[in-house]
Structure 1
């Protein structure tokens, strides 16, 4: 095993001094005010060791990373029935695109684009009231992260999403017209916006991702089956970065999910759960320095899933 503590510290130093940092998301006012010089990284190894550097303990809005946890909950609720309403293919389009819904009869390409995640919320509301679904999500991520108090919902972000989320409102109503949203659109969107408003640190996020690193288990306790954890990770690899997913797989080679808050959750199966955060985004809406940091991490550790293993 390479010296992970040294590698994490080196990467944080390199990112701290980087000049090209991307552009913060400006369409959600609370995100637009986040200082662009922030950078955090956390690596949780399979043996439980935790290595952090930079702003790894500062909470940020995880945004679309929450879609991983929402998908996990929806699969737990309805199993493979979910796939009759949401696809499993890369979209090749921006995260908030409406174009494909017309030709594909209101069925989103995958659960990690906005339209797909809105359907996932509707599935959860088939059994729960919005307040119950939001509470379930909060309890779930707290349990996964082993943190009963600090992880919270940022109501300021949730309200800003509601006030500015015109495209998401259009997506939900369009899918409702095709019969793929069953509940009250306002309640579905309110749940979706609150999921996106989860605030977590890199340390908490990396801890929460351990079940995907360890075959569906956390500290020996089964969260999901090994096959379900593997399938969620496969979707993260192929769809986790919108129309930048292929390039992420090419350059980094890990299952990962990004959010416009600048976070990325990545998993080296059997080895590590990794979270990075830098609020400046690239043109596809993914953290610019976050991707660079992960690329350097896999170069120095050989953790890419495409790297030959001994034995």
Structure 2
């Protein structure tokens, strides 16, 4: 990125922080995850990592937050790296769910095959796949994120993970349904624990944007970080991006595609990771969520950013 472009982007991000940082609490935080209630509701950070290795950020971009379901992008990418025969897709589909991300009804009606890898049931199957393939699903995801971001800062929030595991009745129910249909290979408690732990990883916007750059560059890691030259095949990278576009924003994927025009994955910790193919990755964080479970200020800021710099894929 040229100096002029970098300066312009930095000014744009500063303007986005001024325009979208909540002056007072907006939206809500999930009742089922108590530790998220202690986060400053006016927090707002944004970072852009480009395919040439530059990172530009503003606001609270260096403050760690709980990535929650954003981890599903990286667990899926890891599973695909270790699945040359594409057997995972026999156990999980690639369709929008049209129901809540933790729906039991849909899973039972469809004989234990989750609609996509980003709803909870699908992510549990992916976690089970990683446990079989690698032995330590959470450890693999954490190591992957550290390598991709070039930082040792990403870490599991152990206290938050323990608290979240204690309120994971719905995830245990989903896992038991999956096991009953023969779609889990490892014990239910082990699968749920690893799933909750990798959702409890904390990262900053800056590190998460850097970690996502391979999705913008046909599977190649950013040159500024210590990753293999090919993180994921170009074909599998396109697959992950397509599922992010259609399934990554809970029940608001269509609205996000309309307003922002980029593949994205949100988490109830208030983060959103968006990918601009050929250009870079963007991470925004603001804790207040809308009724669909996506960051209110983050979604608005990404729509504003896409409009200003023309990064929509449409």
Q: Please indicate the TM-score interval, normalised by the length of the shorter structure.
A: over 0.9
Counterpart position of 1:93: 99
Using the alignment, how far apart are the partners of 2:293 and 2:102 within structure 1? Answer: 11
Q: Which runs of 5+ in 2 are unaligned?
A: 224-228
- Deviation of the 1:16 alpha carbon: 2.1
1:214 and 2:217 are equivalent in the alignment: yes
Give matches, 1:234-273, under 5 Å: 234-273=242-281
Give matches, 1:1-311, under 5 Å: 3-19=8-24, 21-79=26-84, 80-129=86-135, 132-147=136-151, 149-219=152-222, 221-306=229-314
- TM superposition score normalised by structure 1: 0.94
Aligned partners of 2:51 and 2:222 also within 8 Å: no
- Deviation of the 1:21 alpha carbon: 2.2
Aligned partners of 1:22 and 1:289 also within 8 Å: no
Using the alignment, how far apart are the partners of 1:29 and 1:51 within structure 2? Answer: 32
Using the alignment, how far apart are the partners of 2:21 and 2:270 within structure 1? Answer: 15
The alignment partner of 1:125 has SS state of helix
The alignment partner of 2:97 has SS state of coil
Using the alignment, how far apart are the partners of 2:310 and 2:131 within structure 1? Answer: 41
CA 1:17–1:174: 2 relative to 1, 3 Å = closer
Using the alignment, how far apart are the partners of 2:20 and 2:53 within structure 1? Answer: 25
Using the alignment, how far apart are the partners of 1:152 and 1:37 within structure 2? Answer: 23
Note the aligned Cα RMSD (angstroms): 1.3
- TM superposition score normalised by structure 2: 0.94
The alignment partner of 1:25 has SS state of coil
- Deviation of the 1:50 alpha carbon: 1.4
The alignment partner of 2:239 has SS state of helix
Counterpart position of 1:309: none
Aligned residues: 303
- Deviation of the 1:17 alpha carbon: 4.8
- Deviation of the 1:34 alpha carbon: 1.1
